[in-house]
């Protein structure tokens, strides 16, 4: 995937409701023909879907990511980051005290909700 395709995909994924193709090329600061080629490649790769859309009577397309970008907050319990991230210690998840602390935070967060 080229950098521009990756940038377009990131942009589409970050808009859960989708992005209009007529807006995408402006956001990417490229011309509409180039944008069409990028969109075609992303569709062909199965990464996005294209839905017909009318904006002010003009036909365009709504582009939506097929797989939504993950919500990074799943690595947090309160303000504590999951200790397994970036951990280089020998791993025994069943007995890891750092992981237990994180699960306590998770339970606390759950209880407070």
Partner 1 sequence: MSSAADLLSDPAVNAYIHRLIGDDGIGLIERFPEEGEYSDEELAEKTGVNLNTVRHTLYTLYEKRLAEYRRLKNNETGWLTYLWHLRLDRVTDVIEEDIRDVLEHLDARLSYEERNDFYMCKNCGVIFTFTDAASWNFECPNCDEMLDHFDNELLATALRKRVQKIKESLGSD
Binding residues for partner 1 (CB under 8 A): 6-7, 10, 13-14, 67-77, 79, 81-82, 84-86, 91, 93-94, 96, 99-100, 103-104, 106-107, 109-111
SS3 call for 33: helix
Q: How far is the CB of 77 from partner 1 (least distance, A)?
A: 8
Of the pair 55, 87, the CB lying nearest partner 1 is at 87
Of the pair 55, 104, the CB lying nearest partner 1 is at 104
Pair of tokens at residue 94: 């069943």
Cβ-contact 38, 8 below 8 angstroms: yes
Of the pair 26, 68, the CB lying nearest partner 1 is at 68
Of the pair 20, 99, the CB lying nearest partner 1 is at 99
Q: How far is the CB of 52 from partner 1 (least distance, A)?
A: 26
- Write b or e for each residue in 14-51: b if 16 or more Cβ atoms lie within 10 A of its Cβ, otherwise e: ebeebbebbbbbeebebeeeebeebbebbeeeebbebe
Q: Which residue has the tokens 């237990």?
A: 100
The neighbour count for residue 80, using CB atoms within 10 Å, is: 16
Q: How far is the CB of 7 from partner 1 (least distance, A)?
A: 6
Q: How far is the CB of 41 from partner 1 (least distance, A)?
A: 18
């Amino acid at each position: 995937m080229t950098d521009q395709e990756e940038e377009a995909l990131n942009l589409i994924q970050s808009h859960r409701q989708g992005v209009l193709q007529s807006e995408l090329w402006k956001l990417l600061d490229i011309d509409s023909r180039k944008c069409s080629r990028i969109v075609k490649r992303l569709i062909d790769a199965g990464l996005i879907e294209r839905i017909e859309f009318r904006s002010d009577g003009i036909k365009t397309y709504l582009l939506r990511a097929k797989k939504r970008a993950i919500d990074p907050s799943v690595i947090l319990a309160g303000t504590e980051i999951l200790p397994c991230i970036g951990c280089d210690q020998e791993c025994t998840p069943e007995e890891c005290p750092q992981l237990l602390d994180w699960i306590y935070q998770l339970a606390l967060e759950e209880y407070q909700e």
